[in-house]
A = this chain, B = another copy of it.
Amino acid sequence: MAKEMKDNQFVKEIADMTADFPQWYTDVVLKTQLVDYGPVKGTMVIRPYGYEIWEHIQDELDRRFKATGHKNAYFPMLIPYSYLVKEADHVEGFAPEVALVTHIGDTPLEEKLVVRPTSETIICSMYSKWVQSYRDLPLLINQWANVVRWEKTTRPFLRTSEFLWQEGHTLHRTEEEAREETAKMLEVYREFMQNVLAIDVLTGVKTEKEKFAGAVNTYSMEAMMLDGKSLQAGTSHYLGQNFSSAFEIKYLDKDGQLKNPYQTSWGVSTRLIGALIMAHGDQRGLKLPPRVAPVQVVVVPIAFHKEGVLDKAQELAAALKSAGVRVELDDRDQSPGWKFNEWEMKGVPVRIEIGPRDIENGQFVAVRRDTHEKRVIEISSLCEAIPALLDEIHENMFRQSHEFLHSRIDVCRNMDDMKESLDNGHFVKTMWCGCRECEDKIKAELSATSRVMPFDQTPVGETCVCCGKPADKVIYFAKSY
């Protein structure tokens, strides 16, 4: 351990995650070059190592969206201010934080323009032109785009003035079909979190207080970060006819009647990168889930000035690349220990070490980032062993996330127990009467917010954790990002 610490010149630059988790996060995202601060307050630059994670997230999600019948499109970023005000709750929610374009060069615009904080309004204005008949439904469109929401407190990936996201916007003939879509996309997200980011989540419906401005219902998935806080990782909204009536989207139904369609919207953002950092990291830095890691395997030659070592290392890297593995050969003129530390900090799932003796024995050493386990593997089985190992790491990381989450959910029946659980960095599962006052009081006294009401509403008590009156709602509370 002593030697390990001595070698590790990076670790000392990263704050102790148990002592100062926010500083650990900041150190990790900056030092691994995932991100940098932009010149305008609250903006971020996503650097190549961070952006490639986003590219893999996009690929995986986009495939899922297309497999469920959605097509991509692109709508203008600049929205007439008059559109924002058409849906009353929506404008109330977004007006204070929108960026406004008022001039072109020196010339004032006749109507100020909103830089989209989300695109319901402009998309509805187009849908009202495109949809005429029930034959035009369902309309299933997704957009990959940047959005701007001016936030007071910002942190890279978690909350930034501009961020990248996808937003699905669909129209349906019936409430039932729209509700099915809302649930389906939440499930697409949940499956993606599990099978791609290796993060377990709680899913359910948000309270009235926490729902999207303009939605009838907001469904969310909530992930537990390593500090015990909850992170809202994605949302799927059932919008009912709120926007379709405000924007006069009407279709002629089979019965000859003009009707407003039912609508959904759903989105995830670059926030997911923050989620995977805080769900999987450790004292040494990042621990990237293999399926989105820009580098899945790094090959580090040992004593690489000795004849044949670099050649063999190149050969392994080339073979893995052909097998579809994202691999990098580190042939820089640095010590192996220095390289090990750097790649550990950068969270690369597997490190391959190969030196003269390994080559003699026809083998190499694979070191897992998640468990630090070393495994000696025959070179001849490289291209089967490594993809299998990456899957094993994924499964292990998901299992850890699952166990971490479920071992830290406490059922509480009163405010004192709830306070203790929250202070321990746990989520609280409890009963709630449904009134806004209790929700506000819990936030004021315990700094915790309602996260979701799960689909499984099997009661865990009879009375509201806050007011003690009869309660029929099972709900999770947690401190949150």
Seen from chain A, the residues whose Cβ lies within 8 Å of a Cβ on chain B are 36, 38-40, 43-48, 51-52, 54-55, 71-80, 83, 95-106, 112-113, 115, 122, 125-126, 129-130, 141, 145-146, 148, 150, 161-162, 164
Q: What is the distance, in angstroms, from A145's C-beta to the closest C-beta of chain B?
A: 8
Q: Can you name 18 A-B residue pairings with CB atoms under 8 Å?
A: A39-B80, A40-B113, A46-B73, A48-B73, A51-B72, A55-B72, A78-B148, A96-B106, A97-B104, A97-B105, A98-B105, A99-B104, A100-B103, A101-B101, A102-B102, A103-B112, A104-B150, A105-B150
A74 touches B100 (CB 8 A): no
For A75, the chain B residues whose CB sits under 8 A away are 38, 45
Closest residue of chain B to A141, judged by CB?
A: B48
8 closest residue pairs by CB, A with B: A48-B71, A43-B76, A38-B76, A46-B74, A96-B105, A104-B150, A100-B103, A102-B102
Query: Are A148 and B77 CB-contacts (below 8 A) given A38-B122, A103-B102, A126-B45?
Result: yes
A100 proximity list for chain B (CB < 8 A): 101-105
Interchain CA distance A54-B143 in the complex, whole Å: 13
Chain copies in complex? 2
Nearest chain B CB to A142 CB, angstrom units: 9
Contacts A40-B113, A78-B99, A99-B101 known; list 19 others, CB within 8 Å: A36-B130, A38-B75, A38-B122, A38-B126, A40-B80, A46-B73, A48-B72, A51-B71, A77-B148, A77-B162, A96-B104, A96-B105, A97-B105, A99-B104, A100-B103, A100-B104, A101-B101, A115-B115, A146-B146
Is there an interface contact between B39 and A122, defined as CB atoms closer than 8 Å?
yes
Instruction: Note all chain B residues with C-beta closer than 8 A to A74.
Output: 45-46, 51, 54, 164
Residues of B within 8 A of A52 (CB): 71-72
Question: What separation, in Å, do the CA atoms of A40 and B77 have in the docked complex?
Answer: 10
Within the complex, the shortest CB–CB distance from A32 to chain B, in Å, comes to 14
**Residue pair B129, A36 in contact (C-beta under 8 Å):** yes
Nearest chain B residue, comparing its CB with the CB of A149: B104
Of the candidates A44, A45, A95, A141, the one having the most CB atoms from chain B within 10 angstroms of its own CB is A45
Minimum Cβ distance to chain B for residue A153 (Å): 14
Separation of A113 and B42 alpha carbons in the complex (Å): 13
Nearest CB of B to A59, in Å: 11
Q: Among B54, B96, B115, B141, which residue has its beta carbon within 8 angstroms of that of A101?
A: B115
* Cβ–Cβ < 8 Å partners of A97 in chain B: 104-105
Q: How far is B84's CA from A444's CA once the two chains are assembled, in angstroms? A: 45
- With a cutoff of 8 Å between Cβ atoms, the chain B residues found around residue A105 in the complex are 95-98, 100, 150
B161:A78 contact, CB within 8 angstroms: yes
- In the complex, chain B residues whose CB is within 8 Å of the CB of A161: 76, 78
A115 to B77, CA, bound (A): 11
A72: chain B residues at CB < 8 Å are: 48, 51-52, 55
For A71, the closest partner residue in chain B by CB is B48
Residue of B with least CB distance to A129: B36
A101 to B150, CA, bound (A): 12
Residues of B within 8 A of A96 (CB): 104-106
Closest to A49 in B: B71
**Chain B residues positioned under 8 Å from A101 (CB to CB):** 99-102, 115
Docked complex Cα distance between A97 and B113 (Å): 15
In angstroms, Cα B36 to Cα A80, docked, is: 17
A83 contact set on B, CB distance < 8 A: 39
Q: How far is the CB of A167 from chain B (nearest CB, A)?
A: 14
Contacts of A55 in B (CB 8 A): 72
Whole-angstrom distance between the alpha carbons of A126 and B74 in the complex?
Answer: 28
Interface centre among A47, A100, A130 (most CB of B within 10 A): A100
Q: State the CA gap A232–B36 with chains docked (Å).
A: 34
Give every chain B residue within 8 A of A104 (Cβ-Cβ): 96-100, 150
